[in-house]
Amino acid sequence: MRFKAVTQAAPPPASPLLLFDELPRMTGAVPELWRQQGDILREYGRAFVDVPDVAIELPTGTGKTIVGLLIADWRRRRGEQVVYACPTRLLAYQVSPVARREGIPSVTLVRGWRSWPPLDRSQYESGDAVAIATYNTVFNSSPKIGSPGTLLFDDAHSGEQYVAESWSVEVDRFEHPATWTVLIEALRPALDGMFLQRILDDIGDANLRSDVRLVVPSRRQGMVEKIDTALASLPANSDQSFRRSTVPGGLLGSEADPGASRDRH
């Protein structure tokens, strides 16, 4: 039996900027970098390689995807698992052909993790390819993407919505009426009388649906326990019950670490 010898991977170039000239780019790839792309990659390689959190700002249409992919592949070549995260599946599917065109090994890991092709997942986990994924793939209570060495967020300003949704509980009065009633009773001491009455008499008031009150349960005697009891009554198989399991630390916080609860009318 003959075995194929394992060859040692070539060391990565000194910076992401130098990587551009080494990529096996395909027909249609960008012929050269623009000045602002080169300046950012040069500055990143000079001063920010070891900085844990870095924000790169470029106007739309000025090549930020290429910059992000070059940094992603350069760090992958340094031995890291790397994820390039996009806000939506559509954007992830748009980035994937760009990576392929530029000669950057990549796999697209979107939707449920059970649908990921085993070979693609293996290539990411072994560091042979950059994973192009979505924010939802990263921000959930049990991410199957593991603990990558580098996470790059395309349009990072869009991330707030995805983070908030994964760690927020909403109780719809029509979907979970019993839980909603108990929750309102628990919150009653913190709500002014007129606002509370508008909630109870809700008859489709559009203004009410956009009206918000912030409640700090830990500042009210017994409110944390009552809210916890109400939320515990959510059906075990509901999305909200699943989210509830991700936020017990915030809900059950101390006076020094107050939590907040929001209800949906």
d(CA 147, CA 83): 10
Task: Give domain status of residue 31, yes or no.
Answer: yes
Residues 44, 155, single domain; the answer is yes
Give the pLDDT score at 110: 94
Task: Give domain status of residue 262, yes or no.
Answer: no
Residues 29, 145, single domain; the answer is yes
State which of 166, 186, 211 marks the end of a domain: 166
Give the pLDDT score at 265: 37
Give the pLDDT score at 224: 87
Phi, psi of 165 (to 5 degrees): -65, -35
* Two tokens, residue 256: 């020094």
Write the CB contacts of 200 (distance below 8 Å, at least 6 apart in sequence).
184
- CA angle 12/14/16 to nearest 5° reads 80
Give the pLDDT score at 257: 40
Give the domain CATH number at 24.
3.40.50.300
The whole domain housing 111 covers 16-166
pLDDT tens-digit map of 26-67? 999 999 999 999 999 999 999 999 999 999 998 888 899 999
Residue in 243, 245, 251 with CA at minimum distance from that of residue 227: 251
Task: Give domain status of residue 259, yes or no.
Answer: no
Residues 189, 71, single domain; the answer is no
Give the pLDDT score at 45: 94
Residues 95, 226, single domain; the answer is no
State which of 115, 144, 166 marks the end of a domain: 166
Residues 145, 34, single domain; the answer is yes
Task: Give domain status of residue 5, yes or no.
Answer: no
Task: Give domain status of residue 111, yes or no.
Answer: yes
Residues 62, 159, single domain; the answer is yes
pLDDT tens-digit map of 151-185? 999 988 877 777 777 677 888 888 888 888 999 99
Give the pLDDT score at 250: 55
Residues 124, 186, single domain; the answer is no
Residues 76, 105, single domain; the answer is yes
Task: Give domain status of residue 29, yes or no.
Answer: yes
Q: How many separate domains does the chain show?
A: 2
Question: Containing H/E element for 225?
Answer: helix 223-232
Q: Which SS3 state, helix, strand or coil, does residue 264 take?
A: strand
265 residues of the chain, pLDDT tens digit each = 554 544 456 678 999 999 999 999 999 999 999 999 999 999 999 999 999 999 999 888 889 999 999 999 999 999 999 999 999 999 999 999 999 999 999 999 999 899 999 999 999 999 999 999 999 898 877 789 999 999 999 988 877 777 777 677 888 888 888 888 999 999 999 988 888 888 888 655 666 667 788 888 888 888 888 888 888 888 877 667 667 766 655 555 444 343 333 333 3
State which of 166, 199, 229 marks the end of a domain: 166
Residues 161, 181, single domain; the answer is no
